Structure 1
Amino acid sequence: MSTPDSLPADDAIVEATRRWLDRAVIGLNLCPFAKAVYVKEQVRYVVSHATTPEALLEELMNELQLLSDTDPEQVDTTLLIHPGVLTDFLDFNDFLDVADAALEDMELEGELQVASFHPDYQFADTDQNDISNYTNRAPYPTLHLLREDSIARATAAFPDAAAIFEKNIDTMEQLGHEGWDKLDVGPAR
């Protein structure tokens, strides 16, 4: 596990995340909804210095409230990047239940949701190095805070939103590990 002193500077963490978003998420069209908010600069990037799940939960709740209170034209979505905590994927995955409980406790269910990206992301019933896992692999553990209204508008505009997952798997299989590595977006195998 990285220690806070061994982590890159916040600017470098955000730059790596922006590169991943630009080259992988948008460049490979893994999320057809991402480009609009990215181009309009409505993505908020927050680097957490939390070193415990409890501290991360506090930051998550603050960011959820901030997103809820902010005009979507200013900030439509938030990437809470937390390189110093929950670096183990199983711990990270368990934390997602805590994140969902926070949404419920804050009465933000139905308004906001939390999606997840991790350098070691692994879908159930896949091998760790299966290329399909890379659709959700980011340079650092990241909680993606989204507005339900934005998701609803985006899916209404997209003819077959349910097919995105299958299309992403096909894209990743065509790209392969070598192609992913050439994107230089981390994490590498």
Structure 2
Amino acid sequence: MDSTAVIRITENWVRDVVVGLNLCPFASAPLQAGLIRFSVCAGQTPEEIYRALLSEMDTLVNLPETEVETGLFIAPEGLDAFDDYLELLYSADEAIAEAGLGGVLQLASFHPNYRFEEAEEDDPANYTNRSPFPMFHLIREEPMARALKHYPNPEQIPKRNVEKMRELGLDEVRDQLQRCRKE
């Protein structure tokens, strides 16, 4: 699949699922303002993807916030296994700390087979973090901190999202994710 199609599908997911279901109350503004950087990784092995992710993190922190507030680094090939994805996520988190970017950048994780540790495979709650492709959300901490100041009880967001997905049910959340792949 070419990168244009990957970005289109990812934009559908952000618009229809993340924003549409209000899973992230902070996503709508940067999406509407065109401040989300969508980057598709050409790497096909975890090592290639890791190097590209480090490069993308460097690019993001060096771009003005007025141009790019947040980024989605999409890895459509090479991280199909959720365990491989998690391993790379842990390594990337360590790299952020080692580079002195703690407090500047953080990662949020999304994967087609995302599964919370305590959840069953078919628990709709997993769909709060399921995405069309393996991807890493590169979050600038400064704009996030500003947004959090104006949002009551942000610590309740994950719980609310789990409840919402369970209320929708497995068939509906699965269908929503699948619809993102259509034109």
Partner residue in 1 for 2:41: 48
Q: What's the counterpart of residue 28 of structure 2? A: 35
Task: Supply the AA of the counterpart residue of 1:170.
Answer: E
Match of 2:14 in 1: 21
Q: Give, as a single letter, the amino acid of the residue that structure 1 aligns with 2:85.
A: F
Q: 2:77 maps to what in 1?
A: 84
Alignment of 1:5-16 (within 5 A): 8-16=1-9
Q: What's 2:95 paired with?
A: 102
Question: Does the Cα contact within 8 Å between 2:123 and 2:170 map onto a contact in 1?
Answer: no
For residues 49-81 of structure 1, give each alpha carbon's deviation from its aligned partner in whole angstroms, at most 9, with x where no partner exists: 111122111111111111111111100111010
- Cα deviation for residue 177 of structure 1 reads 2.0
- In structure 2, what is the Cα distance between the partners aligned to 1:123 and 1:177? 15
Query: What are the ranges of 5 or more consecutive residues in structure 2 without an aligned counterpart?
Result: none
CA displacement at 1:26 relative to structure 2: 0.2
Alpha-carbon shift at residue 178 of structure 1 (Å): 2.5
- Letter paired with 1:185: C
**How many aligned positions are there?**
179
Structure 1 residue 146: Cα displacement: 0.5
On the 8 A contact 2:104/2:140 being kept in 1, the answer is yes
| Residues 112-131 of structure 1 aligned to structure 2 (within 5 Å) | 112-131=105-124
**Correspondent of 1:67 among 51, 60, 68:** 60
Query: Offset at 1:138?
Result: 0.3
Report percent identity of matched pairs: 36
